[in-house]
Amino acid sequence: MRHGTTLPELMVVLTVVGVLVTVAVGRTNALRDRMSVRAAATETVATFALARRWAVSRTTRTAVALDSGSASLVVLAYADTISHRRLGSSHGVSLSSSRDSMAYAPNGLGYGASNLTVVLRRGSAAETVFVSRLGRVRR
């Protein structure tokens, strides 16, 4: 009696393994997208917190400029650049916003008459960061 596997048995096993690998790769990509968007949202919240702290501690007007083309955030205090966060190149996300900037007064309150909404996307994952007209940030 011979021991071993036949060609049809081997083909069935390889097909099942191929299907399982395809499902695993799809879920892994979705997980990577969610993790990148979450990290970018955390960095966005930290950038707005930095701008607000800078305005209060230096008693100067500070602004966060949003560039949706390069998906970056720049913290400015008059002509000085305090921080430049490149979310597009570091996390691979795209950025869209309802306004192009958010300014903080020396007392930490926001300038402007409207709220700011920042949407970060990568693949099928998306997260929204809201900044109230008073300068409070929430996710």
Domains of the chain, residue spans: 7-138
Calpha distance 115→133 (Å, rounded)? 5
Rounded-to-integer distance, Cα 77 and Cα 32, Å: 35
CATH class label, 7-138 = alpha beta
Residue 116, φ and ψ in degrees, nearest 5: -115, 135
Amino acid, single-letter form, for residue 75: V
pLDDT in tens, the chain (139 residues): 777 778 888 899 999 999 988 887 778 888 999 999 999 999 999 999 999 999 999 999 999 999 999 999 999 998 899 999 999 999 999 999 999 999 999 999 998 778 999 999 999 999 999 999 888 999 8
Q: What pTM does this model have?
A: 0.82
pLDDT at 85: 97
CB under 8 Å to 41, separation ≥6 — which residues? 120, 127, 129, 139
